[in-house]
Amino acid sequence: MTIKEFINKAIEGGWKPNKVNKIIGRVAIGEIVAQTKRRGGKGNRDLLPLVLIDPKAWEAVGKAEKWADYEENHYEDRRGDLWSQTLPIVQSKMRGMIDALIEGKTLEQYIETL
């Protein structure tokens, strides 16, 4: 999925950009959508993280994509022990984004894996 598709899926799933504005201040999240359309999928990179940290946007994408409610995650702790944890899908996907950034990937690279 591209960034443009992520934003479109969020809107399709019922995400309201204007509600986010109240949470994060007067930043025009709607401008991301407009720029994304104008630039053929490449919106304002400075505003993009504001969409990606909004759990409501992720929930809306999950609704549009018909994601399951929960996902099992496997990880290794500092001692090398393997663990498994069942998380709500939105939390799992957002955690995956953070892990990807820690690994040196870009936001675009992670979104493409969804």
Question: HEC states along 1-63?
Answer: CCHHHHHHHHHHCCCCHHHHHHHHCCCCHHHHHHHHHHCCCCCCCCCHHHHHCCHHHHHHHHH
End-to-end CA gap in the chain: 6
pLDDT band at 24 (very low <50, low <70, confident <90, very high): very low
Question: Domain ranges in the chain?
Answer: 3-112
* pLDDT tens-digit series, residues 47-63: 566 678 888 889 999 99
pTM of the model: 0.65
Whether 94 contacts 111, CB under 8 Å: no
